[in-house]
Amino acid sequence: MKNKQQHAATQAIRANQLRTSIGEHSEAVFLTSGYVFDSAQEAAQRFAGDDDGPTYGRISNPTVQAFEQRMAVLEYARHGVATATGMAAINAVMTALLSSGDHIIASSSLFGATIGLFDKVLARFGVTTSYVDVSQPDGWAKAVQSNTKLLFLETPTNPLCELIDIQAVAQIAQQAKAILVVDNTYGTPVLQNPLLHGADIVVHSATKYIDGQGRAMAGMICLNDEDMHDEIFSIIRTAGATLSPMNAWVMNQGLHTLALRMAQHSSSALQVAQWLQQQKSVSQVFYPGLDSHPQQHLVEKQQSASGGMLSFEIKGGRRAAWKLIDRCKLVSISVNLGDSRSIITHPASTSHARLSDEQRARCGVTDSLIRFSVGLEHAQDIIDDLAQSLN
């Protein structure tokens, strides 16, 4: 559990540092797929779980475990389970905890691949999903069915930055005896700890802010419940979406600067959002730190800052959106987010392109919507680039 006397900034650097007998100051990386045992008996004991030493790379690696343990501390969780990507984390939770005939309730606004996983993959195995309009909080209770097993939400959502009251949904999940899973990719454990608001499981695409420099893919699952942990871990070791030790090491390095970066991302994003609001060609800006944001009160309730992601609607549809994107000189055209470099994305034709028109409409992804990941360049330079592009 989290040491209450230390701040997230300290724990992201210091918690559960693995150090070998040679006393290296920086974290070691153990690039090995197998381990050597002293005897056949020791191998058998390890595989039987009587000795907690490592067994095989798909199942255990000290560098991966160091990342898992640090993330667990940051999320106030007993367990962390690392995965190869963020989608692997979401898939592992679903396949570990759901069976044919079960029902999911999810927020209408979600990352495109998550919707694809629910509607195309899980649906084939007899798991159904109902979507709740984020602007209608009472929709969660109304959507509960006798077979509802799991509630899933992002907050802030990708790409509209809508906020959902985690505590309120957690109460509904509890009444329905269902599991609440929160995707905390946009928030990171520095801005938000969903388990403290009643969620059962937190998932991350660590590919984003945890890495922070767009170098490696990773996912993370944090939770307290022992039985659910065992089910999820069993899926990872069996189905094999294991995180590589090299990527775990990159993530551990990313954690060192996470708190500093999230403060800067948040401060610059607010400046960019306020500037965008004043532009005649921009019809709407979605950023939780703006007074115009419909759920701004939830920032105070469950977040320590508003984060580095925003989106906006430009007048003139897809043509105008693409024109603005193509004219950016400093800002990168890419689909990643949470990078030190600012990134501009057209969700309708990239991250949400594989969805049907109806699915896209449900997420609020229009042709004129632009997603913007505010990087760590000076805020004025980001604004200047957008200004030259808009003009």
Ligand X SMILES: Cc1ncc(COP(=O)(O)O)c(C=O)c1O
Q: Which residues bind ligand X (CB under 6 A)?
A: 85-87, 111, 113, 154, 158, 183, 185, 205, 207, 217, 219
Residue nearer to ligand X on the CB measure, 62 or 112: 112
Residue nearer to ligand X on the CB measure, 275 or 351: 351
Instruction: Give the shortest CB-292-to-ligand X separation in angstroms.
Output: 23
Instruction: Give the shortest CB-86-to-ligand X separation in angstroms.
Output: 2
Instruction: Give the shortest CB-3-to-ligand X separation in angstroms.
Output: 28
Residue nearer to ligand X on the CB measure, 162 or 183: 183
CA distance 257 to 354: 34
Residue nearer to ligand X on the CB measure, 126 or 240: 240
**Which residue minimizes CB distance to ligand X?**
86
CA distance 56 to 342: 39
As a three-state string, the secondary structure of 137-185 is CCHHHHCCCCCEEEEEEECCCCCCCCCCCHHHHHHHHHHCCCEEEEECC
Residue nearer to ligand X on the CB measure, 54 or 189: 189
Residue nearer to ligand X on the CB measure, 2 or 345: 345
Residue the block writes with tokens 């005897």:
39
Taking every pair of C-alpha atoms in the chain, what is the biggest distance, in angstroms? 73
CA distance 155 to 203: 12
Is the link from the previous residue into 189 a cis peptide, with omega within 30 of 0? Answer: no
Instruction: Give the shortest CB-280-to-ligand X separation in angstroms.
Output: 30
Instruction: Give the shortest CB-106-to-ligand X separation in angstroms.
Output: 12
Residue nearer to ligand X on the CB measure, 46 or 188: 188
What angle separates helix 258-277 from helix 379-390, to the nearest 10 degrees?
30
CA-based nearest residue to 219, from 92, 80, 87, 30: 87
3-state SS class at 326: helix
Instruction: Give the shortest CB-55-to-ligand X separation in angstroms.
Output: 26
Instruction: Give the shortest CB-304-to-ligand X separation in angstroms.
Output: 19
Which residue type, as a one-letter code, is found at position 243? Answer: L
3-state SS class at 288: coil
Residue nearer to ligand X on the CB measure, 158 or 242: 158
Strand order of the sheet with strand 148-154? 79-83, 219-223, 201-205, 179-183, 148-154, 103-107, 128-132
Look up residue 117 and give its two tokens: 């996983």
- Angular region, 87: left φ>0, alpha ψ -120 to 50, beta rest: alpha
Instruction: Give the shortest CB-211-to-ligand X separation in angstroms.
Output: 9
Strand order of the sheet with strand 332-333? 282-286, 309-314, 369-373, 343-345, 332-333
